[in-house]
Amino acid sequence: MESCPNCGAPHDSPCPRGAQVRQHGNVILQGRYELLDLLGQGGMGTVYMARDLHLHSRPCVVKKLRDDFYREEDKQKAVAFFEREAGVLSKLQHPSIVHILDYFEENYDYFLVMDYVEGKDLHAILLERGQPFAESKVLSWSLQICDVLGYMHDHDPPVIYRDLKPSNIMLDVKDRVKLVDFGIARPVEEGQDNTHVVSAGFSPPEQYWGAADGRSDIYALGTTMFFLLTGQEPVALHPSAPRSAVTSISERTDLVVQRATSQDPSARYQSVDEMRQALLECSLPDRAGLLGQLGSHNKVVMAAALLALASAGILSYAFFDQALDWHGKQLKESERAKTKATREQAELKKRLSAYSRAVEANDQAIKEWSRMAKTSRQAKNEAQATDMAAQANGESDLTDPEGLLTQSSQHW
């Protein structure tokens, strides 16, 4: 028995889903969208390259929800996710978010039609090149991602993406990022759900028990940066430190990733804007190699040098102000770091002193206990000797009341 060309199931009777219109062997949906090629397949569905026959064969992407669920309950949940993805995408309008064009049900199947993005996802690109990306490139992409995440988090109602990872970040031919696959994104107004949908290594701890907020997307951005900077998969439920794998990565970028991937949400950046500012400060030294060379000089010398270069047309005044402001922040951060280190050293000395006193007191207690135990043993031994002597004298009185034995021994 051959498989049905319409639904794929083996049966001789007419297909229960009805016949789909075909053109040149390709399936036509809604009499409009012609499926041309298979682009990929994931846990929730299949993605096809297609064209819109109503709009001059405009390229588009058709996403079909999988239909091989064993339980009706699982199917209903998947349909709910699919419909929510369509609803979320229909309300978001941003250059870095793939646009939805249509959503429909046909022959018991569910479909999403979206813009076609000419390009590849970052995961596939890294695997093809066989090496991690330059730090400056990763910082540039991360700033773009911050921009779109900030738009989503500031939306009314806010939208939490919850599935940020390299394979869901498309890069078009103009080096612009596009977020795809909003299958588990949700508006905050729907309240906390108990959906345990995670991507190992990229999802934060709180998402494993169904809790997520804007800081969860920040964590995923941090792990994504780690992957792009090192070419290594991030360790699940563990802070990421790219500098430990690639020593050429700047310390500032490494600290940003570490903070973003903190296991405690309260220790991460509390907003995308806060992380964006940190990334901007990371990218500044890359645009000013001379600034790094002058970093050892004092603020006055640096200001004079930058001003001279600016007047010569080498640097703009805008960059001069930005560089000077950055250097000022560096000095402040350095002073704060020194103060913190001094405070921590003082606290450590205090704890060591207290520990030493405790050890000394414990030693004294042990010595006193030993002395008392020794005295007690000596007293006990003396008491036992006295008792034995008294007992011996008593027995002598009973056996020789007249003292004859004593006199005889003296006589002998």
Coil, strand or helix: which one is 290? helix
Residue with token string 């402001």: 325
End-to-end CA separation in angstroms for the chain = 130
Residue 90 to residue 113: CA distance in whole angstroms:
11
Q: How far apart are CA 128 and CA 226, in angstroms?
A: 18
> Of the listed 163, 181, 217, 254, which one is catalytic?
163
d(CA 329, CA 309): 21
Sheet with 26-29, side-by-side order of all strands = 21-23, 26-29, 33-41, 45-52, 58-65, 109-115, 100-106
163 is catalytic: yes
The secondary structure element, H or E, covering residue 403 is none
CA distance 340 to 55: 63
29: tokens are 């949906």
* C-alpha span between 32 and 406 (Å, rounded): 136
β-bridge partners, 58: 52
Active site residues: 163
